[in-house]
Structure formats: structure tokens, C-alpha cells
Structure 1
Amino acid sequence: MQHRFAVLAVCTANICRSPLIEMVLRDRLDPQHFEVASAGVRGWVDKPMDAMAAMELMRLGLTPGSFRSHPIDDYFVASAGLILTATTDHRSSILGGSPEALRRTFTLVEFAQLAATIEADDPESLVAEAARLRSRARGSLDVVDPFRRKPAVYRTVADQIDEACTTISTRLNALVATSAP
């Protein structure tokens, strides 16, 4: 069995944004080469996905299945080759506990911007090059928290996540397709 590149999605409670990121990436990334998980920096334990976020996921053609929330822990951080956070504050929370994760921790929007424009030969080198060129990311790098807000906010968040995940998954899948024997 070959090693699969691990991607971790992170938000606050692990019930809205990071589950959306996890489910969209899991659906779009090649499962032979990638594994995806999610967690929250103040993660709730064993809670289902937020109902409004789940509705947006279904609008995107996916289902939350038996999703249950998880708080982030050292294992999640240490085992991930790429950590995608909803906001810069989440990124700071991870780095506060694991400063060594800096070179593989980005906001979702930041990594999508970088992945679309830089050259790499494989997922690991894409992450390394993105870290080196991090300052090139522009604009707001955060995905707002839709929790307990209007349906339109959930829709905007889901569309933003969908667009960023499409960019990231297309790029990562292309890298493993070209490096396959």
C-alpha cells in the first residue's frame, strides 16, 4: 500500500466550514493518493454537521453521511502534509501549539491562490513552494463563519469553499497523475 498524502481542514467547532472543505476535497481528490480529515481548534466532540452547512453540501451534490466533529490534536497536525484553515486566526491557533507546522499550514483561500500559480512536481513540493511564496497571496484570506447566520451567508461560504477546493483538487490530482509510474 502506497503512502497517501494527508490533508487536514480546520475551522472553529468542526461543524460548518471544515466539514464542507473535508467533504468537497474527499469527493474530488483521488482516494488512492489522498486522504482528508477535519477538526476544530475549539472543536466540539462527536457532533453532526450543522444542518444549514449540510444543506449547502447537498446542494453541491454531496452528503454529510455519518460525519462527526473532532477537536484538533497533535496527531492530526503532525500527520497532515497540508493543513487548510478557514481563517488566519485558525492558522495562528495551530501554529501556537505546533510552530513546526508553519510550512504546511495555509488558509484555504491562500493555498488555492498559490496552488493555481506555482510550479511543482508533486504534492509535497507544491506545499513547500507555496510556503516559500506565501506573501504572494492577496485579498481576504478568510472564509467567514456562517454559524447561526442567514442562509445567504451559508450559500456564499459554500460557494467560496467549492471554488477553492476545485482549484486545489484539480492541481493536486494533476500532480499525482503526472508522477504516477
Structure 2
Amino acid sequence: MDAVRILFVCTGNICRSPMAERLTRAHLDEVLGARASTVSVTSAGTHAVVGGEMEPSSAAVLAGLGGDPRGFRARQLTAGMAESADLVLTMTRNHRRSVLKLAPRTMFRTYTLREAADLLQDVDVDRLPGMEGTDGQPPALVRALGQQRGTRRRGDREQDDVFDPIGHRESVHQDVGEMIVEALYPLLDALCAERAPVAAPQDDDTQWIVPTRFRVA
């Protein structure tokens, strides 16, 4: 059974969200090894090019960043996809609104990618339990992001969107890929870092020992 289920959403599901999906898979495979299989990573589009392959420029950028575009096929977003995810990361605020229109109960599990990365800066990640043992509840990191959401100023939200590179030259797709990586990798490392509770020798209190942080490429 998957410990964590992540869903990425954009418009056509051929540029931004598949880049995020495949970069996530590559990064988790590297940092988690065999345990990466416990994390489900998918993507979908609000107006998907259903069955379509990745847009060629985005596919080339993805490969250059270490992801694998082979075998990808675009999917249309459904309410069931959003409702079954522990964390929904959209590329824009409009995409987030579309998700919430389909699945209103996912409000505290749905963020734009850059919004989540911004909220992460105010989360004390070292005090959170790891992703294991969620007992059907969203991961602790997702709950912590929700607690921070109300503190954001309106001006902070203007930078929440990852713009659409479709129809632009490959350098624009490269910019988008790098923007996704910058926001994505710290979130993944925070979500998947191993933290083991160890009894302190003086009393019964539990302390958290945090290993060296995963590399952020």
C-alpha cells in the first residue's frame, strides 16, 4: 500500500505536470531507493490532451534534468484522482481552483507548487514525524502546510504560478523546468526525510534524531 500519494495538475498534462511527476519519481528513486515504491506519483490536466505524449521541448528539458519522459500519456483530471491523493500540487492558482471545484474536501491537501514551497519555509521540518504510519491521515508535512496557509500576505500569492511554456521556444521550457525543480525538491526532501524516535537516557521523553539532509540538486 502506498504511504503517500502525490498528484500534480496543470492544463494539458503534457508540459508542466508531467515534468513535475517524472522529476519527483527520479528524485525519490535516488534518495529513497527501494522505499521509493511506497510513494505514488501521478499527474493530470484540467483540459488534458488525453493519451498525448509529453510536448517535445518539455520532454527534452525533463531528460536534461534527470527525468525520463518515455511512456508518458496525458490524463484528464477527475474528482476521484484528487480525493484519493494525500497532496495535490497544481501549477497555477486557476488549476487549484479547478481541483477544489471538483473535490472541495481536498482544500487542505491542495496547493500550487510554489505556494507549498513558500509555506515550507515557515515549517519546522525537523520536528515533524516521517511519512510512515499516517494511519489514513495526510502526512504531517501536509497538515503543517495547512496551518501556515492563513499567515500569507496577499502579495506573496502573486508568485504562486508556474507559467505555461506551450508554444514557446525550448529556453522557456528550460526556465519552467528549473522553476519546478527549485520549488519541488525541498518539498520532497521534507516529506521523505527519515526521523527515528529515540528514548532519552535520563527520562521517557522522545527526541527526534534527524540524519543528514538529502541532496537538493
Structures share fold, TM-score greater than 0.5: yes
1:4 offset after TM fit, Å? 2.1
1:124-177 C-alpha deviation (Å, 9 max, x unpaired): 121112112114452500000000012221111000011111111111121xx1
Give the secondary structure class of the aligned counterpart of 2:159: coil
d(CA) in 2 for partners of 1:9 and 1:3?
16
1:42 offset after TM fit, Å? 0.9
Q: Residue 21 of structure 1 aligns with which residue?
A: 20
Alignment of 1:29-48 (within 5 A): 29=28, 30=32, 31-48=36-53
Q: 1:169 to 1:51 in 2, by over 3 A?
A: same
Contact 1:87–1:141 under 8 Å retained in 2: yes
Alignment of 1:49-88 (within 5 A): 49-88=54-93
Q: Please list every run of 5 or more consecutive structure 2 residues that lacks an aligned counterpart in the other structure.
A: 132-138, 199-217
d(CA) in 2 for partners of 1:11 and 1:106?
12
Contact 2:7–2:89 under 8 Å retained in 1: yes
Give the secondary structure class of the aligned counterpart of 1:93: helix
d(CA) in 1 for partners of 2:104 and 2:6?
18
Alignment of 1:135-150 (within 5 A): 135-137=150-152, 138=156, 139-150=158-169
Larger Rg computed on CA atoms: 2
d(CA) in 2 for partners of 1:85 and 1:38?
9
Q: Residue 134 of structure 2 aligns with which residue?
A: none
d(CA) in 2 for partners of 1:96 and 1:131?
18
Contact 1:11–1:39 under 8 Å retained in 2: yes
Give the secondary structure class of the aligned counterpart of 1:133: helix
Q: Residue 142 of structure 2 aligns with which residue?
A: 127
d(CA) in 2 for partners of 1:48 and 1:111?
27
Dislocated runs of 4+, deviation >4 Å = none
1:80-122 C-alpha deviation (Å, 9 max, x unpaired): 0000000000000111121111000000011112224303324
Q: Residue 161 of structure 1 aligns with which residue?
A: 180
Relative to the length of structure 2, the TM-score reads 0.77
Q: Residue 173 of structure 1 aligns with which residue?
A: 192
1:28 offset after TM fit, Å? 1.4
Q: Residue 203 of structure 2 aligns with which residue?
A: none
Q: 1:62 to 1:156 in 2, by over 3 A?
A: same
1:179 offset after TM fit, Å? 5.1
Q: 1:100 to 1:64 in 2, by over 3 A?
A: same
Relative to the length of structure 1, the TM-score reads 0.91
Contact 1:116–1:171 under 8 Å retained in 2: no
1:25-74 C-alpha deviation (Å, 9 max, x unpaired): 11112314311000001112110000000010011022201000000012
Contact 1:43–1:69 under 8 Å retained in 2: yes
1:180 offset after TM fit, Å? 8.8
Q: 1:151 to 1:136 in 2, by over 3 A?
A: farther
Q: 1:179 to 1:70 in 2, by over 3 A?
A: farther
